[in-house]
Amino acid sequence: MSTGLKAVEVSGMIDDRRQLHLDSLPPIPPGPVRVIILVPEEIELAEEEWLRGAAGSPAFDFLKAPEEDIYTVADGKPFHDQG
C-alpha cells in the first residue's frame, strides 16, 4: 500500500454556507482525500471569519465529548488583560 500523495487540481467555488462545489469530477476513485484551498491574494479574510469557520468545523467536534471536559471554573487563576 502506497502512503505517497498525488496532487490533482480541480477548480470550484465555496458558497455562502461554506460548502465546496467542484466545477468537474476529479479523475480519481472515491475515497479519502486531503484538500488544500488556494484563494486569490486580494481576498483577505477578517479574523472573525477565520474564527467562525474554525468554530463551525467538524474537525473540533471531539472537544464536545464529556471526557475532554477536564477543567472546572476552580482551575487556574483569573487573567485580566491590561491591554
Question: Which tens digits make up the pLDDT trace of 33-65?
Answer: 888 888 777 767 788 888 887 888 888 888 888
Write down the pLDDT at residue 37.
86
pTM comes to 0.41
CA dist., res. 47 & res. 25, Å (int): 32
Q: Give me the residue label for grid cell 477565520.
A: 50
| pLDDT tens by residue, 4-26 | 888 888 889 888 888 989 998 88
Handedness of CA 53, 57, 59, 63 (dihedral sign): positive
DSSP 81: -
pLDDT score for 33: 85
